[in-house]
A and B are shown apart, each in its own frame.
Chain A
Amino acid sequence: GQNIDQPTEMTATEGAIVQINCTYQTSGFNGLFWYQQHAGEAPTFLSYNVLDGLEEKGRFSSFLSRSKGYSYLLLKELQMKDSASYLCAVRDPGYGQNFVFGPGTRLSVLP
């Protein structure tokens, strides 16, 4: 079976740092993707991890531990425009190499 978990909602203050966690149990693993989705819009790709460790892209970083089935997305210097849903998705070879999405975390950034 496949199960991906994320916190439902988070709130943070402008300028702060926030960490959004994702835990997964899938039949296989060919990488974990993070997407950002603003309300009513399409998801947009943020980051990809397939090996353990930290990937950094500007204000956004993503970490992966395959042995723990765990990833996080770190957002620094939060801006109001970062208020959105953040989805983690695992590419699962046991699911035809398709993407299994987590429930998403709704982040609200307050002034």
Chain B
Amino acid sequence: DTEVTQTPKHLVMGMTNKKSLKCEQHMGHRAMYWYKQKAKKPPELMFVYSYEKLSINESVPSRFSPECPNSSLLNLHLHALQPEDSALYLCASSEGETVFNQPQHFGDGTRLSIL
């Protein structure tokens, strides 16, 4: 069991669909992250929220839209995705930018398949 909860665990969608991935943590962490991970590759950073403000956007296509409704929740809205967007999407949290010795805690991920 992980302390970061992601839903859904699996998602299959067509290229014209709109869906959202959800992430929740109750550890009081102030930084939350979205990563994309392809098979046999490391996680690639997509977005970082620090104290509920978007602090890093790694030139991700606009068909991915993050949202941080409050300090415990992180969403990733998906629209008009492409087949190459099929991947494992990981959410992570950490205590914050000034707490260096604490690791990120990852959720189990959402396995996304685009048809």
Question: Taking beta carbons and an 8 Å cutoff, which residues of A are in contact with B?
Answer: 30-31, 33, 35, 40-45, 48, 50, 85, 87, 91, 96-99, 101-104, 106
A-B contact sample (16 more), CB < 8 A, given A50-B100, A98-B45, A104-B41: A31-B100, A31-B101, A40-B88, A42-B90, A43-B90, A43-B106, A44-B106, A45-B104, A48-B101, A85-B40, A96-B48, A97-B97, A101-B42, A103-B41, A104-B40, A104-B42
Contacts of B70 in A (CB 8 A): none
A97–B43 contact, CB under 8 A? no
B interface with A by C-beta (< 8 Å): 2, 4, 33, 40-43, 45, 48, 50, 55-56, 88, 90, 97-98, 100-101, 103-109, 111
Contact of B108 among A42, A45, A98, A99 (CB under 8 A): A42
Shortest CB distance A76–B (Å): 22
